[in-house]
Each structure stands twice: as structure tokens, then as C-alpha cells.
């Protein structure tokens, strides 16, 4: 019985250490393109000298590109450190970027915007897939639903005897 317990104990901790070591190695070996960035980290790169943008949940470093962009840098700098999916898709007035611009994007990609359970990330995921947020998740509909259920719950119950 003692040999079995010793073997089980050794096997368990050996497995735990192996998994931990593998996770550490895997984390260090990720290329820059697979790095994940939070919304907070993205927002720290909001100057023309350090300009990151998220487009379709992918993070791009446009710091070196701002001076080469066909329009003045002032057109792009308001979107530094923010989600620029819609401005990229419409250029602000309904026209999409050219296929050449789409082909240039992978060269500036540095990672992926992490998505948690917050409402903004869910909206970004839907936006990346080209789906609008359902009406039931829009703030006005949620507020109306909350008020309706509150009125329903607070109404007095009249019992007929």
C-alpha cells in the first residue's frame, strides 16, 4: 500500500510540474502575432508616436504608418488607442478602404484584442462578424424591460375570495 501511495503521489506531482513547465514554455514561444491585449492596454497607446488600433478584434501598430497614410495624420490619430473597426470599414462617410489597404493590414498586426464577458467586447465580436447587436441587448430595450418587470413585480396582488 505504501508503494502505491508513493507512486501515486510522485505521478501526480510529476504531472503537475510537467503541465506547469509546458505552459511556461508555450507562453514564451508565442509569436508577437498571437499576443493578446486588453482594452486597457490598447488605450495606453493613444498618441501619434505610439498608435495602436483595434480593427475586427485584431490589434495593429500604426505608429510608423501614420506619416505614410494618404490623408494627414490628423485623420487617424483620433482612433489611436481605440476600436477603429467602424471608421476603417466606412472611412467616416460610407466608403470602404481599398483592397490594397486590406492587404497591408497583416503587416501591422501585433496581436488580438482579448474579449471578456463585458458588453463592449460582445458588441465588438458581433461587429467583427458583421452582425448587429440584438434588440434585446440594446441599452434602451434593456432599460424598458427592467422597468416593465419592476412594475409587474411591484403591482399588488388582488385575491378574490
Question: What would the pLDDT profile of 5-39 be if each residue is shown by its tens digit?
Answer: 888 888 888 888 788 777 777 655 555 447 899 99
Give, in degrees to the nearest 5, the angle at Cα 45 between 39 and 46.
100
* Residue extent(s) of CATH 3.10.120.10 domains in the chain: 34-114
- Predicted TM-score (pTM) of the model is 0.54
Q: Which CATH superfamily is domain 34-114 in?
A: Cytochrome b5-like heme/steroid binding domain (3.10.120.10)
d(CA 68, CA 154): 61
What phi-psi label fits residue 91: left (phi over 0), alpha (psi between -120 and 50 degrees) or beta?
A: left
Relative to beta strand 50-55, strand 82-83 is parallel
CA pair distance 106, 56, nearest whole angstrom: 12
**Cα–Cα dist 119/159, whole Å:** 41
- Rg of the chain on CA atoms, in Å: 25
Whether the pLDDT of residue 159 is over 60: the answer is no
SS3 51: strand
Residues 122-146 have pLDDT tens digits of: 555 555 566 555 544 444 554 555 5
pLDDT of residue 8: 83
What pLDDT score was predicted for residue 71? Answer: 85
Neighbours of 136 (CB within 10 A): 8
Amino acid at each position: 500500500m505504501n508503494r502505491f501511495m508513493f507512486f501515486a503521489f510522485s505521478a501526480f506531482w510529476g504531472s503537475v510540474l510537467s503541465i506547469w513547465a509546458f505552459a511556461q514554455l508555450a507562453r514564451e514561444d508565442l509569436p508577437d502575432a498571437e499576443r493578446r491585449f486588453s482594452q486597457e492596454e490598447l488605450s495606453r497607446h493613444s498618441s501619434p508616436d505610439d498608435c495602436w488600433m483595434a480593427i475586427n478584434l485584431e490589434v495593429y501598430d500604426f505608429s510608423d504608418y501614420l506619416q505614410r497614410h494618404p490623408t494627414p495624420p490628423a485623420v487617424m490619430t483620433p482612433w489611436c488607442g481605440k476600436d477603429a473597426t467602424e471608421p476603417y470599414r466606412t472611412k467616416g462617410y460610407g466608403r470602404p478602404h481599398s483592397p490594397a489597404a486590406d492587404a497591408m493590414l497583416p503587416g501591422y498586426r501585433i496581436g488580438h484584442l482579448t474579449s471578456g464577458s463585458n458588453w463592449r467586447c460582445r458588441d465588438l465580436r458581433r461587429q467583427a462578424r458583421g452582425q448587429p447587436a440584438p434588440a434585446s441587448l440594446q441599452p434602451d430595450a434593456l432599460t424598458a424591460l427592467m422597468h416593465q418587470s419592476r412594475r409587474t413585480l411591484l403591482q399588488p396582488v388582488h385575491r378574490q375570495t
